[in-house]
Amino acid sequence: MRSELEAVVSEVEKAVVGKRAVIEKTLMAMLADGHVLLDDIPGMGKTTLAIALAHAIGLSSRRIQFTPDVLPSDIVGFSIYEKVSGDFIYRPGVLNGANLVLCDEINRASARTQSALLEAMEERQVTVDGTTYPLEKPFLIIATQNNVGTSGTQILPYAQIDRFLVRLSLGYPDHESQIAMLRDRRQSDPLKEIRPVLSKEDFLRMQENVHQVTVRENVLDYISRLSIASREHEMIEIGISPRGALYLCRTAMGKAWMDGRDYVTGADVRDVFLDVCAHRVILSRKGISDGMTAALLLQEILGAVENPDRRAGR
């Protein structure tokens, strides 16, 4: 199915120019059945990327523009009393009936509204008035937030941050990509030109293929040692959680499958390590005072923990 994945990336590139690596990483996370947090300054194309992927894959999508007055009932739905029948009728929220939900500027929602997403992100269901309603399959969230203009924003709670499979940034386009964007967008909207090259059934089949990728014991040992090293590092107060270790394994499986293999190597783990784990690590006071960052410390851990590929002679 490599040609089909390449077709998806090519379609998205009509709208998101010069960011193939980020497109592939986002698609990889979606194939690994994970949620994506796009964290960057305004105007980088975060929203465009999410919408373009939904169009190219053929997934039903909805968008939530978060503001402080968005309520939990807007997200998960609510029950309303119907006088004729004498029953409470469930009115679905924006999460119901969508395969991909774009949570735009998620950090502008109140803490109460952000917490309404936790069950949906982990269990793929919502509970209203004691009744549980399953969400569509696949169910994926792509959330955006910007790191400037923090007035009126809420810091995402760690429990929610930990539920995102990866955190990615697009960054500025290079010179040639920006010229292409300026040229192509003078008279047309590239999002309108994106055609679906996959069906939802194709995508679910791909996700199932990712789940079948083999992870050998030496790679599981490597993931565990990396996670434990982050917890024991003197400059890290909170290291990689057990969920983070599971997500690291799952993302490496997605990386291996996209590269055309049915088994995971240590290189796959290394390639996705920062994207999966940097947002889960909280530095200690010593780490902060020494001017360290999560990325620098995780790079140090990668250098200190032996890669099983070396022992295998690769």
Domain that holds residue 299: 213-311
Per-residue pLDDT for 154 more than 70?
Answer: yes
Decide which of 158, 174, 206 is a domain's last residue: 206
pLDDT category of residue 95 using cuts at 50, 70 and 90 = very high
Last residue in a domain, options 162, 177, 206: 206
116 and 188 inside one domain:
yes
Of 3, 39, 21, the C-alpha closest to 294 is 39
* pLDDT for residue 116: 87
Asked if 179 and 264 sit in the same domain, the reply is no
Please give the pLDDT value at position 111.
Answer: 84
The last residue of a domain, from among 183, 206, 229:
206
User: Residue 180 has what pLDDT?
Assistant: 86
Residue 189 and residue 139 share a domain = yes
Share of the chain above pLDDT 70, in %: 97
Q: What are phi and psi of 35, to 5 degrees?
A: -90, 155
**DSSP labels, 160-191:** HHTTEEEEE------HHHHHHHHHHTSS--GG
pLDDT for position 152: 64
262 with 189, same domain: the answer is no
Q: Which residue has the higher pLDDT, 227 or 192?
A: 227
Based on the domain organization, do 115 and 258 belong to the same domain? no
Q: How far apart are CA 69 and CA 108, in angstroms?
A: 9
Distance of CA 55 to the CA centre of its chain: 17
> What's the whole-number average pLDDT of the chain?
91
Number of domains the chain is built from:
2
Q: Name the band, by pLDDT with cuts 50, 70 and 90, for residue 309.
A: confident
Q: Between 159 and 254, whose confidence is greater?
A: 254
Same domain, residue pair 202 and 225:
no
162 and 275 assigned to the same domain: no
Instruction: Using pLDDT thresholds of 50, 70 and 90, give the confidence band for residue 149.
Output: low
- Encoded amino acid at 241, one letter: S
Read off the pLDDT of residues 5-63 as tens digits, 9 standing for 90 and up.
Answer: 999 999 999 999 899 999 999 999 999 999 999 998 888 889 999 999 999 999 999 99
pLDDT value at residue 206: 94
In this prediction, residue 313 carries a pLDDT of 53
